[in-house]
Structure 1
Amino acid sequence: MNEVLRLDRLEKGYNRGKANEIIVLRGASLVIPRGQVVALVAPSGAGKSTLLHIAGLLDTPDSGRVIVNGQDLTGAKDAARTVARREALGFVYQFHHLLPEFTALENIVLPQLANGTARKAAEARAQELLARVGLAARAGHRPSALSGGEQQRVAFCRALANRPALLLADEPTGNLDPTTSETVFSALMELVRATGLSALIATHNLELAARMDRVLRLSDGQLVEAK
């Protein structure tokens, strides 16, 4: 199976049937092959986060299909969706959401333990990932002792800890200054390329988007290739 993600004719609206009904997705479709990095661009409020939440099995469409690694999970039960999120998907948000009481290393170890990885192997994987983003020396620091850019790089490592097939990122550098954003984005792309990961990355930064394999625009509820 060469496809990591297929979204097929997604429809999504809020306040359905009411006077203030808002339609966010109108037949949105995409296919992401294995190893491809796709930028998702659109104005604020256009539905980028909604699309990512549906792709990440955190929300459900009103109609259409969500297929991850060849498995149609559109109508799957919560337990199956949870397993797929844990094993096949990695998430990065604008804010790092690291657990403040744990060190950088522990934040990366914990999702692996939840997935059944032995602690020694989980710690080795965490150390490997931190080294890849230049934070090996910061493994024992808690998030409060890290800079914003360092916190986000740890969040990237956590998202990749269980070796997902697909990374979903929602404005991963949107909370950083331009210089830090460049450093963090470069670290993310190095991680993605080194692991052969597929990724769907929402960003408002067109310069960063242009460095990915494809750029899709969310326009009037549909996905179109940017020219």
Structure 2
Amino acid sequence: MSDVVLDLRGIEKTYNKGTPGAVSVLSGVDLRVKAGEVVAMVAPSGAGKSTLLHIAGLLDTADAGQVLLSGREMVGLGDAGRTTARRREVGFVYQFHHLLPEFTAAENIVLPQLANAVPRAAAEARAAELLASVGLTERAGHRPSQLSGGEQQRVAFCRALANEPALLLADEPTGNLDPATSDTVFGALMALVRDTGLSALIATHNMDLAARMDRVVRLDAGRIVQER
């Protein structure tokens, strides 16, 4: 198995292609994330970081280039194959938690596992384990509206890791939180990532948070132009 979990090669994306209003967003992005590596992606607003994350996570398609997950080429897969790969290999976290409001914290973590054919008992045990790891055991039976913003986002982290993905993709995961809560919640995310040993690509404007990751890349003018 490849030690590179995510391998993006020559990714290009243009919106409204072939029209006078065409906008080139990605112009040949090359990026690798190794097994167990946490990479921060910093970018100015509108630079295309969300588009790149959606392509990496098989939610969108590139106009050109290759997407490999754990050494497997994803571009040639049909819709069913992409859905299966996304469900098994990738976890997503967004700036807003997107929890289902009618379900409890635990149920929000159980549901994606049931969709992946995990038996209910095992799914409930996994949910309990994840909630305990972020200090939310006592909140398992609460609905999202009964949770604070930081608690909601910690549940969203747990949901993203429910199916034990190889890759976590996060788009400004603490962007909606105040600085103190952001720091606490990000610490919980990093602990989850480190404990599970998965790889992560995390888009953020917060350079203090970026500095806590293994590597920082910058997306600008449609390319990765700086890396340290």
Structure 1 distance, partners of 2:54, 2:125, is 30
Equivalent residue for 1:18?
Answer: 19
Is 2:44 the counterpart of 1:43? yes
Report what 1:110 is aligned to.
Answer: 111
Instruction: Provide Cα deviations, 1:110-167, integer angstroms capped at 9, x if missing partner.
Output: 1011111111111111000001101011000000000000000000000000000000
In the other structure, the counterpart of 1:8 is: 9
Cα drift, residue 223 of structure 1: 1.0
Do the aligned residues in 1 keep the contact of 2:219 with 2:226 (CA within 8 Å)? no
Structure-2 residue corresponding to 1:219: 220
Q: 1:56-102 CA deviation, whole Å, 9 max, x = no partner?
A: 00000000000111110112100000001100000000000000010
* CA–CA distance in structure 1, aligned partners of residues 180 and 30 of structure 2: 34
AA partner of residue 101 (structure 1): E
Shift of 1:219: 1.3
Question: Which secondary structure does the structure 1 equivalent of 2:92 belong to?
Answer: strand
Give the conservation status (yes or no) of the 8 Å contact 2:42–2:216: yes
Counterpart in the other structure of 1:139? 140
Q: Distance in 2 between matches of 1:160 and 1:79?
A: 21
CA distance in 1, matches of 2:113, 2:106: 11
Partners of 1:36 and 1:143 lie apart in 2 by 31
Distance across 2 between alignment mates of 1:90 and 1:224: 26
For residues 39-65 of structure 1, the C-alpha deviation after alignment (integer angstroms, 9 at most, x for no partner) is 010011000000000000000000000
Q: Which runs of 5+ in 1 are unaligned?
A: none
Q: Which amino acid aligns with 1:18?
A: T
Q: What is the alpha-carbon distance in structure 2 between the residues aligned to residue 82 and residue 66 of structure 1? A: 14
For 2:12 and 2:227, how far apart are their aligned partners in 1? 21
CA deviation profile, 1:193-225 (whole Å, cap 9, x unmatched):
000010000000011001100101001111133
**Shift >2 Å, 4+ stretches:** 224-227
Q: Cα RMSD between the aligned structures?
A: 0.8
User: Distance in 2 between the 1:105 and 1:219 partners?
Assistant: 39
The DSSP-based 3-state class of the residue aligned with 1:16 is coil
Letter in 1 for 2:10: R
Aligned residues: 227
* CA-CA distance at 1:27 after TM superposition: 0.6
Query: Which residue matches 1:73?
Result: 74
TM-score of the pair, normalised by structure 2: 0.98
SS in 2 for 1:181: helix
Identical columns (%): 70
- 1:97 aligned partner: 98
Amino acid paired to 2:142? H
Q: Distance in 1 between matches of 2:16 and 2:103?
A: 40
Unaligned runs of 5+ in 2: none
